[in-house]
Amino acid sequence: DTAVSQTPKYLVTQMGNDKSIKCEQNLGHDTMYWYKQDSKKFLKIMFSYNNKELIINETVPNRFSPKSPDKAHLNLHINSLELGDSAVYFCASSQARLAGSYEQYFGPGTRLTVT
Amino acid sequence: AQSVTQPDIHITVSEGASLELRCNYSYGATPYLFWYVQSPGQGLQLLLKYFSGDTLVQGIKGFEAEFKRSQSSFNLRKPSVHWSDAAEYFCAVGAPGAGSYQLTFGKGTKLSVIP
């Protein structure tokens, strides 16, 4: 069974469209994340949810909106897509403990191409 | 805020040769340290982690890393590289502390292996 899964794997769309990427984890973790990996492979945190509550919200355009219907799911909705949104988006999950951040498990990524 | 530097953008080694990938971090206290590997078109896989205790940690696929507080380093090593090790390697630092879930990644080192 896949631990962290994302759909779709590839997403090609035109500028101005609205799209969603879905993420699910079956690890029983309570914290989930979205990262963006740019064309130079640089990974940057976008959002983090713990028990369905937003705990990290880095400086990303408000066109990006995460939604966590339950602890096992964290979806990313993007409005009015722009060329610069083209990247690989990774979902990850971890189990928070009292002392803070621990290893994160990553999904396979969604390659978004905006034309 | 923490930061990670991976000084080598691209390293090429011959199959069977030893490998060392460098990672330097900046953080005010002892951080949590991780190495991840990303094969082409894949997500990130955790190789190993350091939280506390023995400064030499063993990971999967024959990798090990050594935490050196005096040098703020966490270098990844492998005694004999296999062609399948060709991938992108990311060092990451996490900040301990309640409610802190953020990982900061280095920019990655691409490893090429010559048969």
| pLDDT, chain A, mean | 89
Q: What is the pLDDT of residue B40?
A: 87
Q: How far apart are CA B83 and CA B63, in angstroms?
A: 14
CB contact under 8 A, A101 and B100: yes
Q: Decide: B111 and B9 in contact? Cβ < 8 Å.
A: no
Of A4, A56, A98, the CB nearest to B102: A56
Q: What is the mean pLDDT of residues B12-18?
A: 97
CA distance A77 to A94: 21
What per-residue confidence (pLDDT) applies to B98? 45
What is the average pLDDT across B84-90?
96
pLDDT in tens, A5-38: 999 999 999 999 999 999 999 998 888 999 999 9
| Residue B83, pLDDT above cutoff 80 | yes
With beta carbons under 8 A apart, name residues in chain A contacting B101: 31, 33, 48, 50, 55-56, 94, 96, 100-101
β-bridge pairing B10-14 and B109-114: parallel
A102 pLDDT exceeds 80?
no
Please name the residues in contact with A47: beta carbons below 8 A apart, sequence gap of 6 or more. A33, A34, A54, A56, A57, A58, A60, A64, A66, A74, A76
Do B102 and A43 lie within an 8 Å CB cutoff?
Answer: no
Chain A CA closest to residue B88: A41
Query: What confidence score (pLDDT) does residue B66 get?
Result: 97
pLDDT at B97 over 90: no
Q: Residue B27: what pLDDT?
A: 84
**Tell me, what's the pLDDT at A103?**
83
- Residue B102: predicted pLDDT: 75
Q: Chain-centre distance of CA A78, in angstroms?
A: 11
CA distance A38 to chain B (A): 10
Comparison of pLDDT for B41 and A24, the residue scoring more: A24
Distance from CA of A91 to the nearest CA of B (A): 9
- The answer to whether residue A1 scores a pLDDT higher than 80 is no
Give the Cβ contact number of residue B55 at 10 Å. Answer: 12
- pLDDT, average across residues A82-109: 84
pLDDT at A87 over 80: yes
